[in-house]
C-alpha cells in the first residue's frame, strides 16, 4: 500500500481553511496512487488553539469530521486527521480515520503532554485502536504516546503492520532527537512501520519542528521531511519486504 504523510502548516482556529489544505493534499496523494493520507495532531483546529478548543471541538460525527469523510470519499482514499473531539462536556485530543465509505475509527490520546494539553483535554485509557486499510493492519497513536514504548509494543503484539502518529512536535533539541532517532528505534524494536507526521511553521503559541518521518521495520527511513515548510511524503508499505528483518530481530517472539 502506498501512503502519504502531509507535513502541514495549519491556520489556527480555522477548520474550514485546514480542511481545504487537507483536501488539496488528498487530491495530490490520490493522483500519486496513495491509499492513505496522514495529517498532524489537531490538524483541523491547529495545535495552538488553546482557549478556542471548547468551541471548536466537535463530535466524531460532527460537521468537520463529516467534511473530512467527504474528502476521503471524493478522492478514494483513507484519511487520518487530528481533531478536538467533544463527547458531552468532555474534550479529547483525538485522531479520526475515515475512508468516506463507512469505516470510521477514533483514537483518543492517552498520554497528555504538559500543562497545556492537560488544561484543555481529558486523557483516554491506553488501548489498541486498530483499523484495516487496503489489506494493511494499522494502529493509531498521537504524538507523546509514541514516546512510551509500551504503547507501541501493545500495537505490535496486536499484530499491526503500520502505526500512524499524528504529532505536534515543537522546535528544540529533544524534538529533533525524537524525530531523527526515537521513531526509527520504535519501528526497529517492534518490527513495524511508523509514520510520524508533524506540523511545520509556527502559530501564536508554538513553533513546530517539522521533520516528519516514515520508518521501516529495519529502522531505515522510507521518507523524511525537512525542518521547515510543508511537505507531502510518500512511502510503500509492504510488510513482506521486511521478512528478513523480522527473522533476524525476533523481539516479539522472544518477549517474556
Please give the Cα distance from 225 to 223 (Å, whole number): 7
Q: What is the CA radius of gyration of the chain?
A: 17
Mind telling me the catalytic residues? Answer: 41, 109, 143
Q: How far is CA 256 from CA 58, 158, 177, 251, 253, in A?
A: 42, 16, 29, 10, 9
Could you tell me how far CA 138 lies from the centroid of its own chain?
11
A 10 A CB-CB count for 178 gives 23
Give CA torsion, residues 176, 178, 184, 186, to 10 deg.
180
Angle between helices 15-31 and 63-75 (to 10 degrees): 20
Amino acid at each position: 500500500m502506498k501512503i502519504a504523510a502531509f507535513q502541514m502548516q495549519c491556520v489556527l482556529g480555522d477548520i474550514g481553511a485546514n480542511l481545504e489544505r487537507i483536501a488539496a493534499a488528498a487530491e495530490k496523494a490520490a493522483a500519486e496512487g496513495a491509499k492513505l493520507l496522514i495529517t498532524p495532531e489537531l490538524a483541523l483546529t491547529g495545535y495552538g488553539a488553546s482557549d478556542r478548543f471548547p468551541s471548536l471541538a466537535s463530535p466524531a460525527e460532527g460537521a468537520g469530521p463529516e467534511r473530512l469523510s467527504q474528502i476521503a470519499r471524493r478522492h478514494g482514499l483513507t484519511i487520518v486527521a487530528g481533531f478536538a473531539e467533544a463527547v458531552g462536556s468532555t474534550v479529547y485530543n483525538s485522531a479520526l480515520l475515515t475512508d468516506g465509505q463507512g469505516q470510521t475509527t477514533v483514537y483518543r490520546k492517552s498520554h497528555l503532554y504538559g500543562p497545556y494539553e492537560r488544561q484543555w483535554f481529558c486523557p483516554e485509557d491506553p488501548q489498541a485502536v486498530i483499523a484495516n486499510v487496503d489489506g494493511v493492519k494499522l494502529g493509531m497513536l498521537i504524538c507523546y504516546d509514541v514516546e512510551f514504548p509500551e504503547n507501541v509494543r501493545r500495537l505490535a503484539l496486536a499484530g499491526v503492520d503500520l502505526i500512524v502518529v499524528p504529532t505536534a512536535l515543537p522546535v528544540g533539541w529533544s524534538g529533533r532527537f525524537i524525530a531523527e532517532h526515537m521513531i526509527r528505534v520504535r519501528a526497529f524494536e517492534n518490527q513495524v512501520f511508523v509514520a510520524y507526521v508533524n506540523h511545520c511553521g509556527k502559530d501564536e503559541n508554538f513553533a513546530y519542528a517539522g521533520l516528519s518521518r516514515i520508518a521501516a521495520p529495519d529502522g531505515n527511513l522510507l521518507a523524511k521531511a525537512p525542518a521547515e515548510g510543508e511537505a507531502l511524503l510518500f512511502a510503500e508499505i509492504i510488510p513482506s519486504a521486511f521478512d528478513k528483518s523480522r527473522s533476524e530481530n525476533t523481539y516479539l517472539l522472544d518477549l517474556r
